[in-house]
Amino acid sequence: MRASAIFCLALLLAAAPCNRAGAASCPADTTETLTIRESTLCLLIDDPTPSRRLLLRTWVERSASIVADYYGRFPAPLAVLSLTSMEGGGVGGGRTTNDSGLRIQVRIGREASSDSLSNDWVLVHEMVHLALPEVGRRHNWLAEGLATYVEGVARAQFGNRDIADVWAEDRHSMPMGLPREGEGGMDQTPTWGRTYWGGALYCLEAEVAIREQTRNRVGLQTALRAILKQTGGYGFERDIDEVLRIGDAATGTRVLDDLYRQIKTTPQATDLDLLWTRLGVPRDPKTQPFDDHAPLAAIRIAITAPHNF
């Protein structure tokens, strides 16, 4: 998840991109510091047990590496990670904010094991939020859609998640992103389904279209890397049209902008069955084989191929 950012007075006064990146050093209550590539992660862990701290540090390092590999670098020079204990063995809800520096908050069960943390999606999802600038509440579907879509692809590329599992979730969950009777376009319909899975469907459709138009030479990842590089990510505010233009320039297409114009104020019922058939994704990817002779099979394979640039 991603908290709505607060009103940024500086943007209005200066008529310039607002910098929300915050402090350049870790807060005083930091319990340990991690260096991921060139970036600093300040960990605030409330559990003093050395073995727990080691477990959590390993989880954070792996999650940060997954995201750094996808984007070519960790998407913020400095971020605070507040890891709070809760009952049980799972990973609780996450939250990423940019109103006083970049901060990710996640709750972790005291019984969480190395295995359960290895299968966790929450922290990767939250870290992906750091790579997109603040585009405003109306376009929250883009932020949540990207975090939902990239989490699976980046973990598969890293070898942290089965490729079949990623496509199985997409096939199962993308229908929740389709417009229901009476709903409007993406900028007008902030329901859970449209925000998370409608946004993820926008990403998948953009990915496929970019690859079709570039003969599978580049994909959405190339666009997202350029957006991070040129905007600085979640520590800054940018207009959505500018963000999509940056992405399109990097791929030499107009896919992101064209697709956004089609769906921003108009509900669009994508033919998902046709999309899965063209990609060669079976009804149940966990038990049935992919169709490698499908017209877009090469595109499907390229999306989740290890460290695909």
Which residues lie near Zn ion (CB under 5 A)?
A: 1-2, 144, 147
Say if CB 56 and CB 83 are below 8 A apart.
Answer: yes
Nearer to Zn ion, 83 or 122 (CB): 122
Q: How far is the CB of 255 from Zn ion (least distance, A)?
A: 23
The two structure tokens encoding residue 153 = 């692809």
Nearer to Zn ion, 1 or 226 (CB): 1
Which position has the token pair 């883009």? 142
CB contact at 8 A, 225 and 72: yes
Under a CB-based contact definition with an 8 Å cutoff, are residues 302 and 211 in contact? yes
Whole-number minimum distance, CB 94 to Zn ion, in Å?
Answer: 7
- Each residue of 182-218: b (16+ CB within 10 Å) or e? eeebbbebeeebbbbbbbbbbbbbbbbbbbeeeebeb
Quote the DSSP letter at residue 3. P
Q: 1 or 272: whose CB is closer to Zn ion?
A: 1
Give least dist CB 308 to Zn ion, A: 23
Q: Alpha carbon of 239 to those of 12, 55, 104, 245: distances in Å?
A: 13, 39, 23, 10
Closer residue to Zn ion, CB minimum distance, 146 or 299:
146
Contact 130, 143 (CB under 8 A): no
Least CB distance to Zn ion at residue 231 (A): 18
Is the four-CA dihedral 198, 105, 165, 64 of positive or negative sign? positive
Token readout for 37 is 């590539």
Q: How far is the CB of 3 from Zn ion (least distance, A)?
A: 9
- Alpha-carbon distance of 187 to 260, in angstroms, equals 10
Query: CB of residue 76 vs Zn ion: minimum separation in angstroms?
Result: 15
Closer of 149 and 260 to Zn ion (Cβ): 149
User: Least distance from C-beta 197 to Zn ion, angstroms?
Assistant: 12
Locate 28 and state its tokens: 């005083």
Q: Shortest gap between Cβ of 234 and Zn ion (angstroms)?
A: 11
Of the pair 143, 163, the CB lying nearest Zn ion is at 143
CB 290 to Zn ion: min, Å: 28
Q: Which is nearer to Zn ion, 40 or 96 (CB)?
A: 96
Measured from the CB atom, the residue of 1 and 176 that comes closer to Zn ion is 1
Tokens of 139: 């376009």
Side by side, the strands of the sheet bearing 103-109 are 32-36, 39-45, 78-86, 103-109, 91-97
Closest CA to 150 of 228, 40, 66: 66
Q: Cα separation of 249 and 128, whole Å?
A: 21
**Residue closer to Zn ion (CB basis): 97 or 221:** 97
